[in-house]
Amino acid sequence: AKALRELLQEITPGVYAVRLFRATTPTDTELQDGAQDGLGSRLVKELAAVEAWAKYEGWDLKRPNSMNRYGVVLRDVGLGSLVSALASVVAVPLAELLWPERAEGGLD
């Protein structure tokens, strides 16, 4: 629990930020040394490819909300298992750590 809490930054009382993925793409030197793009970078590239394919095919992607022209519902493009894994491995343990009184009966 202590290690998990150390990853968090409280940006205002009761509101936390946590970096899940590497923020940058490895440098050319790092790539020569065998480093690979982090998951965040690979996810962004994958979503860009889906966006390009959808535009080329004239396919309308489902957006997260009607006021957002960007983003995509990850389950609709085959990334539902990633969403489920992040929820169960990251979001639920964080919620249980930060707000145990709300997590007592389980989280939906």
What would the pLDDT profile of 46-94 be if each residue is shown by its tens digit? 888 998 998 999 988 888 776 667 778 888 888 899 889 988 888 888 8
For residue 107, count other CB atoms closer than 10 A to its CB: 13
Sign of CA dihedral 10, 6, 94, 1: negative
pTM over cut 0.85: no
Running DSSP on this structure, what letter comes out for residue 71? -
Cβ contacts of 18 within 8 Å, gap of 6 or more: 7, 8, 9, 94
For 31, the token pair is: 């790539």
